[in-house]
Structure 1
Amino acid sequence: MRALRGGIGVAVPLTAAHDARALDSHRGITQYAQTRFEARDGLAHNLVNSLAQTADGYLWAGSEEGLTRYDGATFTTFDHRKTEGIPTNTFSTLAVDPAGVLWAGTRDHGVMRLVDGEFHAVVWEPGAEDGQIRTPAR
């Protein structure tokens, strides 16, 4: 497996599990509900690097201050200070595989996956030079 970094690669088998859905072309964008969320609403950080939705309906946001899970009403933040299995707060990419597993790529600690409510680091040899994961690939 390889993650692209200065010519050295580590690929992580990640892919979106859900098909992309287009908006109805007969409706204007203003006909859809639009809500802007910020840190004051519960996001870990105002700048979101990546979004993914898991099969259970949760929307996940990866940022420089951790992972935020949104259930449609409440935000829950997962970070290295209060969540076992998360060694960093800097999340660069998220993806959900066909089995429904959430994969989270970080800027400095490789990849983690969420299985049965617990975060687990993915370890491989040789590791990425700096542990940075920029994008998922299948």
Structure 2
Amino acid sequence: MPNRNLNKPLLLLGAIALLFPYFLCGQSAPQWQFDHYDGSVGLAHDYVLCLYQDSRQILWAGPYRGLQAWDGYQFNQFNLLGKEAFTNTVVYAITEDREGNLWFGTEAGLNFYHVRTGAIRQYFHDPEDPSSLSHNHIRALVFDSQGYLWVGTYGGGLNRWDPATDQFSRYRATLPSTHINVLLVTP
């Protein structure tokens, strides 16, 4: 004699499995909207090399030969050629440190921008100084949980900047390539 108590859960499970697609049909898929930004809304160039949203919710864009900040309403041009100029106007990478200051990697060096004072500090490769950057063409920047800045270069491998000593350590020999385009810190 079959066990009727065992058949009831199987019948219920079968009914749920058959009705599940019906319930899914009633759900609407999320609608994604993409806005296209170009020169008509103030973007300096259609070719954008990097994007970064800082802790103040400003979206920094590195269009070819420039740097712009999107405040949610408009693009504001950031003067890279002012009194305290950047090392170069082609920005490939942007990141932010714990104090909210910004770091910009260009094709000709690394730039530190102190947000409150507007001061800019530049870092370059010096062939005579092993604690300088290994290469000036910066492609990737990321801070780790200990506050070290990791710098990926195009041709010089990986560098780590130590905020306590203001010096770089180079990691070239242990890498399969000296061209670092992307860096990601995992938890």
Of 87, 108, 123, which residue of structure 2 is paired with 1:78? 123
How far apart are residue 100 of structure 1 and its match?
1.8
2:136 corresponds in structure 1 to 89
Q: Is the contact between residue 80 and residue 89 of structure 1 (CA under 8 Å) also seen in structure 2? A: yes
TM-score scaled by structure 2? 0.52
2:96 corresponds in structure 1 to 53
1-side partners of 2:100 and 2:57: how far apart? Answer: 18
The total of aligned residue pairs comes to: 114
Structure with greater helix percent? 2
Q: Which amino acid aligns with 1:87?
A: S
Report SS of the residue matched to 1:34: strand
2:81 corresponds in structure 1 to 39
Q: Which runs of 4+ in 1 moved over 3 A?
A: 18-23, 81-84
Q: Which amino acid aligns with 1:64?
A: E
Cα deviations across residues 77-106 of structure 1 (Å, max 9, x unaligned)? 100139742121110110111222111000
Alpha-carbon spacing, 1:85–1:59, altered in 2? closer, same or farther (3 Å): same
1-side partners of 2:56 and 2:100: how far apart? Answer: 15
- Which structure has more relative contact order (CA 8 Å, sep 6+)? It is 1
1:99 corresponds in structure 2 to 146
TM-score scaled by structure 1? 0.68
1:29 corresponds in structure 2 to 73
Q: Kindly, what percent of the aligned residue pairs are identical?
A: 22
Moved more, 108-117 or 34-43: 34-43
1:117-136 mapped onto 2 (5 Å cutoff): 117-123=166-172, 125=174, 127-129=175-177, 131-136=178-183
